[in-house]
Amino acid sequence: MKKENSPIEVGLIGRGTVGKGVEEWFDSKNAKKFNIKLNKIAVAHPEKHQDAIAPVTKDPYELIEDKGIKVVVELMGGIDPAYEYVSSALDNGKSVVTANKAVVATHMPDLYEKAEKNGVDLAYEASVGGGIRIVNSINTYEGEEIREIVGILNGTSNFILTEMGKGKTFNQALKMAREKGFAEADHSSDTGGHDAKYKLSILASLGFNTWFDPEKISTKGITDISNIDIDFAANHGRENGGRGHTIKQLAVARRLDDRIVDLYVSPALIRNDHPLASVRGEYNGILLNTQLGGLHQYSGKGAGQKPTASAVVADLIRVTDNWMTNLTDPYPSLDSGMQIADPGERMNAGYIRMDLLNQPGSLHEVSGIMSKQALNIANTSQRDRFEHQLGGDNFIPDIHTIYEAKSNSIDHALDNLRKSKKIHGKPVFIRIETPLSDV
């Protein structure tokens, strides 16, 4: 039975970049068509928000406990106290719309249990992929097996790597990302892979119907990537007639069998004819490889005020419509019982880059260390134009491409290489991603 046609009142927690974008929608003629009203806004410093279109409060519980408010939109970010507010809103019988990937990924089972118990919605389309609408799309594949999810899920890292491909250093590209509003002062969540880790947890949990703790996902950022790597990637494979490679920060969920899923976030070389190679700048791209449908690609702006606000508004309209008709979205059972593969057993092809002392015997020592870990070297190259001096000695970037080997073996080799007096600094391993089966 449809409820009375009075405006559905909404409370907003957080009035940052995205919050203001949502507020702008409320102030437009489009909002009036859906009979939704912004009742109140909770912010940390009300005195700074006197231009808001609704009353402002410092206390989020004024929204959470207001019986007239039916939907709470949480856009403050972070896990604490955002989780407390989202949880309390559900307990108070309010549907919640959020863009908070960290809260959703970390507390998914608990939040769904509360939503189902109280007969309300938990909607989080904006938590992954901005305006791409990947969360609701992935739920439409419930009738078939998802085999792989491979994505570029962080626009900041993708922007930095794109600019490095044009010749900028990491620091120059990071500065540019900050100037454009793509990177925070503390960029570690983006460049360290943690933002992508939370997003991968959400997509994999929905795609494989099991909650995967984001803290158990193998995660590596892009801060070790240098212009030497960009140069190597561009030329790798061309000697055999290929089109070269590019480096992307990939988030991967790959079904190994009916019980095990391999999950990781890592920079990797992908061929220039890979579908994700053309995803540049602040854009996100996601590939789903499914049992019946094969390969599906989604792409678009993964962050920013308008794309994220677009996803929030889409959720808000659906959730309020559900409330009017006494319905809720279906809840995932998260009961398939799949497990995360042991990251140490993951098979990786890739290359090891190190600053090698340019003198006789250095290469022999490196080869011996790698041989002890049963690493099969496919090719060796030295980037002469990057040779440099340190303490009166000449060092040259030395790159060893290896065939597939276990992560544990590669890690042991890296530890031993780091201890060698023939090497300066930290050797770096970068994965060469195996193409999707349908690419």
Helices 170-179 and 155-164: crossing angle, nearest 10°? 130
Q: For the chain, count helices (H), then strands (E).
A: 14, 18
Please give the span between the terminal C-alpha atoms of the chain, in angstroms, as a whole number: 48
Smallest CA-to-CA distance from 66 within 43, 42, 30, 33 is with 42
Distance in angstroms (rounded) separating the CA atoms of residues 140 and 150: 17
Calculate the alpha carbon distances from 150 to 117, 211, 244, 275, 284 in Å: 33, 18, 20, 10, 11
Phi first, then psi, for residue 138 (nearest 5°) are -65, -25
Distance in angstroms (rounded) separating the CA atoms of residues 426 and 31: 54
Catalytically annotated residues? 199
Calculate the alpha carbon distances from 222 to 15, 153, 156, 385 in Å: 30, 13, 11, 23
Distance in angstroms (rounded) separating the CA atoms of residues 362 and 360: 6
Sequential DSSP letters for 380-403? EEE-GGG-EEETTEEEEEEEEEEE
Phi first, then psi, for residue 406 (nearest 5°) are -70, 145
Would you tell me how many other CB atoms lie within 10 Å of the CB of residue 250? 24
